[in-house]
């Protein structure tokens, strides 16, 4: 690859001086996570008041049916009186991976949301919680031990409990780590490394940013000016 960049030297205006600082080669590697599959499932709990007496003991889960996301099988575990003693009087929600032959961890992000009986409310009034990417393996669940308090769920005029029934919407996003070598160096990467472009081609402006990389002091001064005006 032809070297088109050199490290930024303060006050260096002479091309010969810049060329003495020219690295032999600059390459960039990207390591990113990408969503590879998404699954949705709704768990509907009917006869809530009866289930609290028959299946609502602390640590006793209600299990959803199995559903698929990115070729993997999942289920929701709902505890009406908490998954652990310290979580009593709370509804706990967990997501579990049920693939018995899966040995490697499956990384996924999960979001639980109570279905609102008043759908015209603004989005920010919804009861929704999102768990950042976590490693799922058979026998290991991730979720929210205190998703919502029983009092908030059952309270008068509850937005979520209607006709002795409530529902939970679950969204699963499976992600994978992917790495690749970038053959073509991007201008923004050069700026991050404090490197200036030496390209003399007239089309350079179409490929690279025209402004040079800022020093830390210059970037800090710009930030202060943007705040103070």
DSSP 58: T
Q: Residue 10 burial by CB count (10 A; 0-12/13-18/19+): exposed, middle or buried?
A: exposed
Tokens of 186: 């991007």
* DSSP secondary structure of 74-90: EEEEEETT-SSGGGTTE
Domains of the chain and CATH, by start: 5-27+183-228 (no CATH), 33-179 (2.60.210.10)
Residue 194 CA to residue 217 CA, distance in Å, equals: 13
pLDDT tens figures, 10-51: 454 555 554 554 455 666 677 777 888 899 999 999 999 999
pLDDT tens figures, 169-198: 999 999 987 666 565 666 666 666 655 555
Q: Residue 18 burial by CB count (10 A; 0-12/13-18/19+): exposed, middle or buried?
A: middle
pLDDT tens figures, 95-144: 999 987 777 899 999 999 999 877 666 666 789 999 999 999 988 899 99
pLDDT tens figures, 139-154: 889 999 999 999 999 9
């Amino acid at each position: 690859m032809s070297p088109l960049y050199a490290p930024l030297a303060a006050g260096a205006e002479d091309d010969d001086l810049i060329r003495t600082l020219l690295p032999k080669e600059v390459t960039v590697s990207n390591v990113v996570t990408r969503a590879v599959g998404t699954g949705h499932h709704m768990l509907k709990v009917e006869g809530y008041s009866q289930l609290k007496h028959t299946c609502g003991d602390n640590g006793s889960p209600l299990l959803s049916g199995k559903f698929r996301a990115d070729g993997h099988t999942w289920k929701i575990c709902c505890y009406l009186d908490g998954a652990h003693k310290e979580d009593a009087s709370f509804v706990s929600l967990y997501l579990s991976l049920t693939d018995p032959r899966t040995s490697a961890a499956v990384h996924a992000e999960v979001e639980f949301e109570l279905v609102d009986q008043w759908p015209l409310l603004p989005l920010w009034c919804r009861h929704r919680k999102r768990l950042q990417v976590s490693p799922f393996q058979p026998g290991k669940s991730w979720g929210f031990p205190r998703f919502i308090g029983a009092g908030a769920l059952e309270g008068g005029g509850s937005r979520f409990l209607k006709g002795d029934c409530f529902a939970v919407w679950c969204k699963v996003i499976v992600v994978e780590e992917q790495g690749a070598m970038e053959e073509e160096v991007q201008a923004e990467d050069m700026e991050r490394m404090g490197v200036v472009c030496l390209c003399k081609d007239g089309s350079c402006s179409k490929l690279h940013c025209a402004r040079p990389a800022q020093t830390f002091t210059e970037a800090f001064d710009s930030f202060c000016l943007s705040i103070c005006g």
